[in-house]
Amino acid sequence: MTSYVIVESQDLYEASNAKSTLELCKNLASSGSNVEIVFVQNAVLGLRGREFAGLLAETAKSGVKFHADLISLQARGIRGDEIPGFVVPISLDLVIDAMADGKKMIWH
Amino acid sequence: MPKKTLTFALMDPPFENERTTTALRLIEAACRKGHNVNVFAYEGAVFMPFAHQKQHANSVKGTDLENENHPLTRIWVAELQQLAADKGGRLDWVNCGLCVDERGANDAITGIRRGSPADLVQFIEGSDNSLVIATR
Amino acid sequence: MVKKVLNIVSQGFRAIYEEQDDTILWLVHAMKNAGSDVSILLQGSAVTYIDTAQECPKLTFGAWKQSNPPNIIHDIEAMITKGISLYYVENDALARGVPAERIVKGVKPVKTSEVPGLFHKFDLVHQW
């Protein structure tokens, strides 16, 4: 089974095409792939607040695993209890391990 | 995890975007884990190892040169070259030659190679995986 | 008569690690020091700058260790002390879940509908 890691770096509030990344993740998952999404930089802003809660939860339900860069969260004052429970704070080592494992990598 | 060869294609110039920091954080993790790392620097990214970057004090903050300890990406890249070597790997950094010429970014730190898209092809073909971190 | 200039900052966290500050906040502060009558409106992702919970970890690259990481709250407080008026778009902060009790003191909320009225108070509006 093919595995994908999508790194989302863009602010969901501002990048007109950022929401399409979540759509892509859902579509890849429904096509039978393992899919992980890693939120970095201003993308983590979309994890707090209600604006995208429904879309994120719906994407998670499709089987997509969610991660968020710990340093990006800390730099923006976003605490672990302020993001959905299915989002796991991680170090960027996870991305390198995924590359070394041969997962297909996409930066958005 | 066994040693792998990982390629990164970068496009952003330093001091303008968070992507450069994130990209170098990723490369740091790869070097720290002992992987061989290839970097193909395209467009403004050729300025990341530019040899003439200089630290400065910050009059607005009231810091002198030492206390400001201003980051320079040329120092970060040099540190990553050393880190890779210390961990038994290597960091092979190629600056796109035409991008260098357009920008006058000829003077890079030691160990940076001038290359072409053919080097990117070689990197990709010789790597276990690659990640493009493009300008947005 | 010095012109009154409103500077809009809408891209937060753009290069803060490499510059150890926000380059536009820095520039506006430097303009104030040079005699300009400047104010700032934070909107979009930059409204997160007013959350006092933010803390930029020190980065490490090999033997290089960051000793002076960005401290945007400190920079904002220094600007307020200097007499620079700072505003933020309240709707943007609410949408991004910035807790009201953590907003740095002295930064003034402006509703989206009030932004035109704010513009009218200035001779120039610089959207950075």
Q: What is the pLDDT of residue B128?
A: 96
Query: Measuring CA to CA, which residue among C13, C45, B21 is closest to residue A18?
Result: C45
Q: What is the pLDDT of residue C83?
A: 97
Q: What is the pLDDT of residue B59?
A: 92
Q: Check residue B19 and give left, alpha or beta (phi > 0: left; psi -120 to 50: alpha).
A: alpha
The confidence band for C47, taking pLDDT boundaries of 50, 70 and 90, is very high
The confidence band for C52, taking pLDDT boundaries of 50, 70 and 90, is very high
Q: Do B69 and C14 touch (CB under 8 A)?
A: no
Neighbours of chain A (3+ CB pairs under 8 A): B, C
Q: What is the pLDDT of residue A1?
A: 84
Which chain A residues are closer than 8 Å to B4 by Cβ? 99-100
> What is the rounded CA–CA span in Å between residue A98 and residue A93?
9
Choose the mutation target among C11, C18, C67, C72 for the interface with B, i.e. most B CBs under 10 Å: C18
The confidence band for A20, taking pLDDT boundaries of 50, 70 and 90, is confident
The confidence band for A15, taking pLDDT boundaries of 50, 70 and 90, is confident
Q: Out of A9, A92, A100, whose CB is closest to B25? A: A92
Q: What is the pLDDT of residue B136?
A: 84
Is the model's pLDDT at C105 over the cut of 80?
yes
Amino acid at C82: K
State the Cα angle at B113 between B17 and A92, rounded to 5°. 40
3-state percent breakdown (helix, strand, coil) of chain A, nearest 5: 45, 25, 35
Interface contacts (B, C; CB < 8 Å): 71
Amino acid at B20: T
What percentage of chain C carries pLDDT values higher than 70? 100
Which chain B residues are closer than 8 Å to C75 by Cβ? 61
> What is the rounded CA–CA span in Å between residue B27 and residue B121?
19
Query: Measuring CA to CA, which residue among A66, A17, A19 is closest to residue A39?
Result: A66
In angstroms, the separation between the Cα of residue B86 and the nearest Cα of chain A is: 18
Q: Helix B73-86 and helix B18-32: axis angle, to 10°?
A: 10
Which chain C residues are closer than 8 Å to A13 by Cβ? 44-45, 92, 95-96
Which chain A residues are closer than 8 Å to B11 by Cβ? none
Q: How far is CA C5 from CA B128, C30, C37, C40, in A?
A: 53, 14, 6, 8
Q: Out of A11, A51, A77, whose CB is closest to C45? A: A11
Q: Are B39 and B92 in contact (CB under 8 A)?
A: yes
Q: Are C126 and C5 in contact (CB under 8 A)?
A: yes
Mean pLDDT in residue range A3-20: 90
Neighbours of chain B (3+ CB pairs under 8 A): A, C
Mean pLDDT in residue range C6-18: 94
| Beta carbons within 10 angstroms of residue A74's beta carbon | 17
User: How confident is the model over A43-97, as pLDDT tens digits?
Assistant: 999 999 889 999 999 999 999 999 999 999 999 999 999 999 999 999 999 999 9
Residue A40, chain B, CB below 8 Å: the answer is: yes
Q: What is the pLDDT of residue A71?
A: 98
Q: Tell me which residues of chain B have a pLDDT lower than 70.
A: none
Is the model's pLDDT at A16 over the cut of 80?
no
Is the model's pLDDT at A18 over the cut of 80?
no
Q: What is the pTM of this model?
A: 0.91
